[in-house]
Amino acid sequence: MVIGSKRCKTAFYRFGAVDTFFNLLKEFSSIKNNEILIEIIDCISSFAKSNNKNIVNRLIELGCIQYLFSLLTTKIDSIYLCESSLRCLRSFFLPKLSTATTTFSKVDYSNPFLTPIPFVLLCDQDTNKPLSLITQSQKFPSITQLISNEQHSSIDILFDNTQLLDILIRLLSTSKSSQLTIVEILCSLCINNERQQQLVDKNIIPSIMHLLVQNIYDKQQYDHHNNDKISLVR
């Protein structure tokens, strides 16, 4: 929590700190000061985790998501800057958990932009759905409203410009930390069958499977190398 508590974030927001940080982001990205950029992006990420929907809404209105993606398309010579930008983007998509617990049952629903949305796998049919999934729209009346809110939904921003998804896939090879962050973002986009199908159409599943296989292979090689060292010592 870079900025501090919910109260601190709200106080900074009322004094225009969100707009100030976004302006600083644009200013320092033009002069490529990576260290200061990372600090600015981490502060914006802290604001994006806020329970105050006005703060998140303001960041989206300013075009923060699009700007971070544009920053990732430029030649970034710092892995840390890339990872910081991806973590900030993740803050807009992952569900907001209560600070007291990380259990799903204690999710903080005060921020509709970070509300976890239950979904049904593409292979599921209506006739085979369990009762809990059939009645999910009744249990979560605000979810339908969120999906239909095209203007402010961070998820809609990505699907309105599918080139942004291409950027995420391209960055999978950046680092292990980037891989985890991107996979978390992609998982949060699977809000319904339509969105899942769009991800399938982008050939994202083969990319993730390739990543999984490669990581398994790397781990096996690492374990084998370490076992050889132990054998030599013995």
Q: Please list the rounded mean pLDDT of every run of 10 residues in the chain (234 residues).
A: 76 93 93 89 93 91 95 84 95 66 41 45 45 37 38 80 91 89 91 90 86 72 62 50
CA of residue 117 relative to chain centroid, distance: 14
Instruction: Please report where in the chains the tokens 């013995």 appear, as a residue.
Output: 234
Instruction: Please report where in the chains the tokens 């969100």 appear, as a residue.
Output: 18
DSSP helix/strand/coil, 213 = helix
Instruction: Judge whether 227 lies within some domain.
Output: no
Instruction: Judge whether 210 lies within some domain.
Output: no
Which pLDDT belongs to residue 228? 59
Instruction: Please report where in the chains the tokens 């399938």 appear, as a residue.
Output: 200
What's the domain count of the chain? 1
What is the pTM for the complete model shown? 0.71
Which pLDDT belongs to residue 108? 43
Q: Alpha helix locations (H) across 149-203?
A: 154-160, 163-170, 176-188, 193-201
Nearest to 76 by CA among 127, 25, 125, 37: 37
Which pLDDT belongs to residue 32? 76
Which pLDDT belongs to residue 224? 61
Instruction: Judge whether 64 lies within some domain.
Output: yes
Joined together, the tokens standing for residue 134 give 């059939």
d(CA 229, CA 157): 50
Containing structural domain, residue 143: 6-202
Nearest to 64 by CA among 115, 21, 9: 21
Instruction: Judge whether 214 lies within some domain.
Output: no
